[in-house]
Chains A and B, each alone.
Chain A
């Protein structure tokens, strides 16, 4: 079974703090993704990575950065957290080729920025 884990289920941070969200997958997947999910807006892609040290901006990258130093790990960084970054953050991974179309999601991190 594919397993995608995220470092925290719930996180409370203060405005201006630097926040690290970690994601680890155990299926040797090439592709990894970070989304945020907000009511009425659905899942929006923040960043994705198709290889180690490779990254591409998604639809809403502003205020975020990412790091992928190892194949199994993809980190999302909020350089200076703001209240509008309060959201559910979902990590996903997929294999390459046609199999890339099936994304496996982690349990999510609910982040509250005060």
Chain B
């Protein structure tokens, strides 16, 4: 079992709709969770972080966390063509030297 599981996609969503990206993780010790966005040919950039169960909203983005189910998701409302990218789920495993474990990402395509 992979430490972080994401559907590779591509996930195709019409412009203006809600895109829903899902992620499950295996390490119950994970305490912080991050979503990175990576445009084709570019490096990842952090767009959301969440630490507690429930929802966290930032503009058009909402991160949802359920630690009991080891599940984290990212919702993008009013999807725009500029949202087309690969989204990486990344739990943080705390240890003597904390390391982020990246999922392989979900490719999102917003169609006009």
Binding site for B on A (CB under 8 A): 35, 40-45, 48, 50, 56, 58, 90, 100-103, 105-108
Specify the chain B residue showing the minimal Cβ separation from A100.
Answer: B98
Residues of B near any A CB (own CB < 8 A): 4, 8, 32, 34, 42-46, 49, 88, 92, 97-100, 102-105
Q: Could you tell me if A50 and B100 are in contact, using CB atoms closer than 8 angstroms? A: no
Q: In the complex, are the beta carbons of A42 and B103 less than 8 A apart?
A: yes
Interface centre among A43, A48, A107, A108 (most CB of B within 10 A): A43
By a CB distance below 8 angstroms, the chain A residues around B32 are 101
- Note all chain B residues with C-beta closer than 8 A to A103: 44, 46, 100
Pairwise interchain contact B49-A101, C-beta atoms closer than 8 A: yes
* Residue in B45, B92, B98 whose CB lies within 8 Å of A105: B45
A3, chain B: closest CB distance, angstroms: 12
Say yes or no: A105 contacts B102, CB within 8 Å.
Answer: no
Of the candidates A45, A50, A101, A103, the one having the most CB atoms from chain B within 10 angstroms of its own CB is: A101
The one of B4, B8, B46, B99 in contact with A40, judged by C-beta atoms closer than 8 angstroms, is B8
Assess the B46–A42 pair: CB atoms within 8 A: no
Complex Cα distance A101/B45, Å?
12
User: 4 closest A-B pairs (Cβ-Cβ)?
Assistant: A42-B104, A105-B43, A43-B102, A42-B102
Q: Of A58, A101, A106, A107, which is within 8 A of B92 by CB?
A: A101
Measured in the bound complex, the distance between the Cα atoms of B33 and A14 in whole Å is 39
Which residue of A has the minimal Cβ distance to B104?
A: A42
Which residue of A has the minimal Cβ distance to B41?
Answer: A108
A44→B90 CA distance, assembly (Å): 12
